[in-house]
Chains A and B, each alone.
Chain A
Amino acid sequence: MILDRKHELERKLFRQFAETEFTKELQDRLDETGEFDWDMHRKMARYGFMGVRIPREFGGAGGDYLSYALMIEEFARMDAALSIYANTSNSLGGGPLMMAGTQEQKEKYLPPIASGEKIMVFALTEPGAGSDAGGTTTTAVEDGDCFVLNGRKTFVSGAPMADWCLVFAKTDPTARGSRGISMFVVDLHLPGVSLGASEKKMGINGYPTCDVVMEDVRVPKDCLVGPLHKGFSIAMKTLDGGRLGMAAQAVGIAQSCLDESVAYAKERKQFGQPIGNFQGISFMIAEMATEIEAARQLVYHAAELKDAGKDATMACSMAKFYAAEAANRCAYKAVQIHGGYGYSRDYKVERLYRDARITSIYEGTSQIQEVVIAGQLLKKTGGR
């Protein structure tokens, strides 16, 4: 795809911002401490990054999925954790509200998350319901003008900093599997809500993740988002967009692996010459570059489909599947090219290797993407 002038200029902005602001010192600090950087959050908010995809009337920049994917890619190219800072509000946090919220809900929740004043996160996974999201055991029971929520959500990215959380809970205990699930906005300051300790993660440190525990949390009825018992389909549709973002993140990480490898292959000398002169190294670089470009085009194509309002479920899963696997292969090769130095924290590829690993796991594992792709193909006649 050849970008139009607007998207080209947006890419320029995202790249300029990330290259200038995501300093090595900041990247190292986030990786070392795992703590959220509020200053960077506010700075990103100031330039409209939190609301790239949120409509103008709700305080966003009114951009499209392609703008969003370009932002995540360029940010992740510098730092994977920082690419998530501006991600949530545009995807799993803001997405369900943009898709299924009432006018009042949009007016209430979208402007503060677009401005970065508030953070909304997404809680679907449970200790016993990961890829099998239909196995949700969190319950919401109607009681007067409220729903009473009980349950535990796990791996809730951003929960330690969040004000609100989109929670999926079973509202019809008689319905099986993914039926009878509804979505609620839960104010994390309500009585009965508690947070677990931040997870000690392998990578993407600097964007904390923890459990959200709800014990008899009384949530007003107007916090129900979308129709009662129909929350699961909204979750799945939101995950299309989320997967697109995470695919873009994987492309950014993979690109960074390539950038580092090319620079190192030119500079590192063995046997009296730069290691890039050896086919063993140069072929790895050629393979990385080709896979990255293929992944990038899948991402942009999926974004284009979504922006055109077409069914993009399979395209998003393909992009996420391929880009995540490519990022892992690129990270492996980048460390290999760096040899012993690649195993040292002094070199960026060591972190890229850890950061890449999550991309084939979260927002649907690679295997779940394959299930989605195959399911789409096999349910249609003729396979196309």
Chain B
Amino acid sequence: MKIFVTVKQVPDTTGKVSVKADGTLDRASMETVTNPDDLNAVEAALQLKEQTGARVITVTMGPMQAESMLRELYAMGVDEAVLVSGREFGGSDTYATSQIIAAAIDTLGLEEGDIILSGRQAIDGDTAQVGPQIAEKLHLPQVSYAAEITMKDNRLTVKRMLEDGYMMVQVKTPCLITCVKELNEPRYMSVQGIEDCFDKEIRILAYDDLKDHPLIDKTTIGLAGSPTNIYKSFTPPQRSAGRMLSGSTADMAAETARILAEKHLI
């Protein structure tokens, strides 16, 4: 049994966000972190590994710098790290990305009993599309927003966290599950893990390794093949501080109505 975990290196949005002149994120000047929801997926995989002895394989797509993230995941306890990287893949939107990652996982060998875990969404794009699209490309059942996963035989019972409640879903493997932060508390790296992680192999899957896969079509990957293109990205202007009204309730209500009317809101 294998558990694939899809992960993404994202800019650390708790630090300074910088945008290049062309409107895209200036990733090189920003600190990077492993996407937080993806760490919940890694933790879930490691817990399932402790329960079943499964092999945990992390898969990411990105530039070579993503290697540092994969080392950290090794230090947390994953068994194998795969970096899908190539100029041809650059600029891919969610549609193209999911196609490439699906092809990568299929190439690595998706078998009966295997599970794919993804974070719900990445903090740089917030689309929540890549996980579900991978499932579609691989014709797998998918359960999104997992806040609890229990495994018995080859069945997973997943508690989905929805806006207005929970939904319990049972699913057979192989399947794909997207994880939310309520699922667990990701573990830290271990000292022993760090001592070992730089000696481990990072498997690189380049365009040449995937080009013969049916999902890989040069016209539907990379920036050129992506159906969506970024028009502009910007940091939203900071909201000004609120204004507190004082006086009697009637006065404050009248003043509120006046301000709203002035702004043509009522």
Binding site for B on A (CB under 8 A): 5-6, 9-10, 13, 16-17, 46-49, 51-52, 56, 61-63, 67, 71
B14 to chain A, nearest CB (A): 13
**Are A62 and B195 touching (Cβ within 8 A)?**
yes
**Are A16 and B188 touching (Cβ within 8 A)?**
yes
**Are A61 and B188 touching (Cβ within 8 A)?**
no
Instruction: Tell me the bound Cα distance from A47 to B186 in angstroms.
Output: 13
**Are B195 and A47 touching (Cβ within 8 A)?**
no
Residues of A within 8 A of B72 (CB): 9
- 7 closest A-B pairs (Cβ-Cβ)? A48-B191, A61-B191, A61-B192, A48-B190, A48-B192, A13-B189, A47-B190
Does B61 lie at the interface of the complex (its beta carbon under 8 Å from any beta carbon of A)? no
**Are A62 and B192 touching (Cβ within 8 A)?**
yes
Nearest B-chain residue to A16, judged by Cβ = B188
Counted as pairs of residues, one from A and one from B, with CB atoms less than 8 Å apart, the total is 44
B:158-211 near A, CB below 8 Å: 188-195, 197-198
Instruction: Tell me the bound Cα distance from A62 to B198 in angstroms.
Output: 14
Query: A9-B72, A9-B75 are contacts. A17–B188 as well, Cβ < 8 Å?
Result: yes
Query: A9-B72, A9-B75 are contacts. A63–B188 as well, Cβ < 8 Å?
Result: no
Instruction: Tell me the bound Cα distance from A48 to B71 in angstroms.
Output: 18
Residues of A within 8 A of B197 (CB): 9
**Are A13 and B198 touching (Cβ within 8 A)?**
no
Pick the residue among A9, A16, A49, A63 that contacts B71 (CB under 8 A).
Answer: A9
**Are A10 and B191 touching (Cβ within 8 A)?**
yes
Instruction: Tell me the bound Cα distance from A74 to B195 in angstroms.
Output: 18
Sort chain B's interface into a size bin: 10 to 19
B-side binding surface: helix, strand, loop or mixed? helix
Binding site for A on B (CB under 8 A): 71-72, 75, 188-195, 197-198
**Are A13 and B191 touching (Cβ within 8 A)?**
yes
A181 to chain B, nearest CB (A): 34
**Are B190 and A5 touching (Cβ within 8 A)?**
no
B253 to chain A, nearest CB (A): 38
Instruction: Tell me the bound Cα distance from A246 to B88 in angstroms.
Output: 53
Instruction: Tell me the bound Cα distance from A17 to B188 in angstroms.
Output: 7
Instruction: Tell me the bound Cα distance from A5 to B69 in angstroms.
Output: 12
B6 to chain A, nearest CB (A): 22
Residues of A within 8 A of B198 (CB): 5-6
Instruction: Tell me the bound Cα distance from A47 to B192 in angstroms.
Output: 8
Given contacts A51-B191, A62-B195, 19 further A-B contacts (CB under 8 A): A5-B198, A6-B194, A9-B72, A9-B75, A10-B191, A13-B188, A13-B189, A13-B191, A13-B194, A16-B188, A17-B188, A47-B188, A47-B189, A47-B190, A48-B190, A48-B191, A52-B191, A63-B191, A71-B191
**Are B191 and A47 touching (Cβ within 8 A)?**
yes
Residues of B within 8 A of A48 (CB): 190-193
Nearest B-chain residue to A11, judged by Cβ = B194
Instruction: Tell me the bound Cα distance from A5 to B197 in angstroms.
Output: 10
Residues of B within 8 A of A17 (CB): 188
Instruction: Tell me the bound Cα distance from A13 to B190 in angstroms.
Output: 8
Of A17, A61, A62, A67, chain B has the most CB atoms within 10 Å of the CB of A61
Of A6, A17, A49, chain B has the most CB atoms within 10 Å of the CB of A6
**Are B191 and A67 touching (Cβ within 8 A)?**
yes
Residues of B within 8 A of A61 (CB): 190-192, 195
Of B75, B191, B194, chain A has the most CB atoms within 10 Å of the CB of B191
Residues of A within 8 A of B189 (CB): 9, 13, 47
Instruction: Tell me the bound Cα distance from A164 to B71 in angstroms.
Output: 37
Residues of B within 8 A of A9 (CB): 71-72, 75, 189, 194, 197
Residues of A within 8 A of B71 (CB): 5, 9
Instruction: Tell me the bound Cα distance from A290 to B192 in angstroms.
Output: 33
B18 to chain A, nearest CB (A): 22
**Are B188 and A6 touching (Cβ within 8 A)?**
no
Residues of A within 8 A of B192 (CB): 48, 56, 61-62
Residues of B within 8 A of A47 (CB): 188-191
Instruction: Tell me the bound Cα distance from A49 to B192 in angstroms.
Output: 9
Residues of B within 8 A of A56 (CB): 192
Query: A9-B71, A9-B72 are contacts. A63–B195 as well, Cβ < 8 Å?
Result: yes
- A sample of 26 cross-chain residue pairs with beta-carbon separation below 8 angstroms, ordered by A number, consists of A5-B71, A6-B198, A9-B71, A9-B189, A10-B191, A10-B194, A13-B75, A13-B188, A13-B189, A13-B191, A17-B188, A46-B190, A47-B188, A47-B190, A47-B191, A48-B190, A48-B191, A51-B191, A56-B192, A61-B191, A61-B192, A62-B195, A63-B191, A67-B191, A67-B195, A71-B191
Instruction: Tell me the bound Cα distance from A52 to B72 in angstroms.
Output: 17
Nearest B-chain residue to A47, judged by Cβ = B190
